[in-house]
Amino acid sequence: MTDPMAQSDLDSDPAHPPEFASAECINLVTRRRNGAEVATPVWFVPWNDKVCLRTATRFGKVKRLRNDPLVRYAACDWDGKVSGPWLEGRAELILATDARATAIDRLLDARYGERRAEMNRLMQAEGMEPIFIAITADAP
């Protein structure tokens, strides 16, 4: 049985350009307190008109998002080479205990398979606490 909270359709995401359907990653740009931008390619899934991802609480992007939730992002490859237009949005941090995190996690598992399973094992071995990020695009 499919969990309706964990459904994603990359081809019909109305909030994002078509490049997101075939993109391996998004290039997520967060800002330091001094305004300097930091770009990070990350795995993602579209969900409920948002772009969602999982990371660890100890990573710099989480600290930066706590200080400034405004982001820029674009479809890209694993090396960060952008393949579509840049969007601006607002990021929300979602704790791993939130029901939304379970839905996002399932979508990420389905999309990235064994590569993600290996990354999860590595993060667990390092004692990293997961946290999720949901990005809502600004209206055009």
Mean pLDDT over 106-112 rounds to 92
Averaged pLDDT, 131-137: 97
- Parse the chain into domains and list their residue ranges: 8-137
pTM (2 decimals)?
Answer: 0.88
Q: Binning pLDDT at 50, 70 and 90, where does residue 10 land? A: low
* 106: pLDDT strictly greater than 50: yes
Q: Per-residue confidence at 6, pLDDT binned at 50, 70, 90?
A: very low
The residues, ordered by sequence, that sit 6+ positions from 18 with a Cβ below 8 Å of its Cβ are 84
The tokens describing 29, both together, are: 């740009």
Average pLDDT (45-58) is 93
Report the alpha-carbon distance of residue 23 to residue 37 in Å, rounded: 22
Q: 8-137, which class in CATH?
A: mainly beta
> Residue 98 to residues 22, 104, 124, 131: CA-CA distances in angstroms?
28, 10, 19, 10
